[in-house]
Structure 1
Amino acid sequence: MAIKLFVRKSIKIYFLIISLLIHLFLFAAANYLFPHYEITQITGVEVKRVDKDGPITKANPADGPTRDVYYIYTQKAGEDKPMVYRNEDTRWGFPFYFKFDSADLQAKASAFVNDGKTVQVKYYGWRLVMFDEYRNMTSMKEVSPEATPSWPVMSYIFYALFLLSFFLSVQFIRGWFDSEKK
């Protein structure tokens, strides 16, 4: 009897852990894929020719189809740490931002470099230095230096839905295992 109870409790904990891991993955996916906003100043722009292995250099010659990737350098007022954004079209692919205007956005960013104005940047993704991963900028607009960034409302909605889903899954698992105790 004690072994059967131990096995049931272990299976219940296993399902709770699996549910937690699935919901953590969903939270991370929502955080990566949905837009975020930041108030910053554009400090520079750059274009690099890349292939599937990264930027083309003497050490990494082109060995397949190549494309131009735009980079936009920013810095928040009063901070020393710069932030680099990738400015690449998503086209019809995932995530579905249907962004086709990276060259226009790059020209706009270049104009902001010369003016030194404050902008609100809309982006998705994470900046992971270790993996050479950049946030992808989807749009920008001029704002006053005192402006506060827009709120990522869709992210908040999905976080709330995932939290509700996690709560319901925990209740379901607990009810499933606790209802058969006797």
Structure 2
Amino acid sequence: MAKLSFRSVTKLFFIAVTLLIHVVLFATVNFYFPHYDVTHITGVEVKRVDKDGPITKANPADGPTRDVYYIYTQNPQNDKVMVYRNEDTRWGFPFYFKFNSADLQARAQSFAVDKKSVQVKYYGWRLVMFDEFRNMTSMKEVDQNATAAWPIASYVLYFLLLITLFLSIQFIRGWFDSEES
């Protein structure tokens, strides 16, 4: 079995760090950039929350509280349910400049009553274990058989990240291989 030299171990370390940085960047793009779903709205709710989540007997309020809107949906093709958070981003990060969560909640209630298909635009992930919800930024009525829009900005960034990953790995390999000669 061939022994690895310090140079080859260092080269593998830099490649691993580059891969890790790109995985984090891919996850960041996936989390913060918009995605789309076509679904039916089944209900809405408002919950009082603090820094620890919804206020309940098990989690009493222990600081500033705020109202968070929740929108319940069900996919008409596979009956899969999804809960979306409907919270303003205001001037903060991510920069969606969303100030209309109350209006969006009223529209969602109207769509739930009329049982219409809607396309929702959202960012974030639904992490059940951490009680984390996707944040809905907008919705619009669509046909019953409509398909969700494609997140073109995300695809462009994924492509650019793949190119930078390839170029970075080639640069690292070339840097270490040229020093060996």
What RMSD, in angstroms, separates the aligned Cα atoms of the two structures? 1.2
State the shift of 1:59 in Å.
2.1
Report 1:19-38 matches (<5 A): 19-38=18-37
The CA deviation string for residues 96-151 of structure 1, in whole angstroms up to 9 with x for no partner, is 10100000000000000100000000000000101101000000000001111111
Report 1:16-165 matches (<5 A): 16-165=15-164
C-alpha separation in 1, matches of 2:173 and 2:77: 50
State the shift of 1:80 in Å.
2.9
Where structure 2 has 5 or more consecutive residues not aligned to the other structure, the ranges are none
Structure 1: which amino acid aligns with 2:133? Y
C-alpha separation in 1, matches of 2:55 and 2:35: 30
The CA deviation string for residues 140-178 of structure 1, in whole angstroms up to 9 with x for no partner, is 000001111111010011001100110110011001000
What is residue 169 of structure 2 aligned with on the other side? Answer: 170
TM-score, length basis structure 2? 0.96
The CA deviation string for residues 20-60 of structure 1, in whole angstroms up to 9 with x for no partner, is 00001000000000000000000000000011111111222
State the shift of 1:79 in Å.
2.1
**Partner-residue secondary structure (3-state), 2:59:** coil
C-alpha separation in 1, matches of 2:63 and 2:34: 32
State the shift of 1:62 in Å.
1.3
TM-score, length basis structure 1? 0.96
C-alpha separation in 2, matches of 1:140 and 1:78: 19
C-alpha separation in 1, matches of 2:120 and 2:77: 17
Q: Which moved more, 1:127-136 or 1:78-87?
A: 78-87
C-alpha separation in 2, matches of 1:89 and 1:67: 11
Where structure 1 has 5 or more consecutive residues not aligned to the other structure, the ranges are none
Structure 2: which amino acid aligns with 1:156? Y
State the shift of 1:180 in Å.
1.0
